[in-house]
Amino acid sequence: DGKMNGIGTEEMLDGSKYTGSFKNGVKNGKGRFIWPDGSYYEGDIKENNFEGRGLYVWSDGRSYEGEWYRNEFSGKGVYTYKDKSVYEGEFIKHKRSGLGRMRYGPDREYYGFWVNDKQEGLGCYTIGNDVKMGYWFHGGLINRLAPDKYKQKWDEEVVKRR
């Protein structure tokens, strides 16, 4: 039938290249895409989509390693920014959503809940010795909590989300 099966390579008109598994002419299994600018994806492919676990590295130094669904990072993963800050946690459709930790540098981080790429819900922001705990909304602290109250609310939230 002329359709590729097994391991092979396909070069696209835009100069990108795929090397990996094919089934009935469709990219399926493990594979690696390389784009002309040096960006690449390496990992699981399902019916021509990034799906499962994989690593994407952009030519500008950014990277994402983790779970993919239909070409979007969705699930748990680690995103490294150009400035080397790192987010490790949950994603939905390329956006930080769910529980995660954003490390902005050696002494600055946020650990807590995210919605649509912004801190939202319970969270703790630390800069050196300064710690801000409480409820966040659209990336801003709206209700600061004392450490004992924060721990109680955190424990309640973790139980609720199980």
Mind giving me the DSSP string for 49-74? EEEEEEEEE-TTS-EEEEEEETTEEE
What's residue 1's pLDDT?
Answer: 65
**Measured between alpha carbons, how far is 126 from 130 in angstroms, rounded to an integer?**
6
What's residue 151's pLDDT?
Answer: 85
pTM given for the model = 0.89
Mean pLDDT of the chain: 93
Pick from 10-24, 122-136, 148-162: least confident: 148-162
Confidence of residue 20 (pLDDT cuts 50, 70, 90): very high
Max CA distance (Å), the chain: 68
**Measured between alpha carbons, how far is 77 from 136 in angstroms, rounded to an integer?**
22
What's residue 162's pLDDT?
Answer: 65
Ranges of beta strands (E only) in the chain are 6-11, 17-23, 26-34, 40-46, 49-57, 63-69, 72-80, 86-92, 95-105, 108-115, 118-127, 130-137, 140-144
Instruction: Quickly count: other Cβ atoms within 10 Å of residue 111's Cβ.
Output: 18
Pick from 5-19, 35-49, 135-149: least confident: 135-149
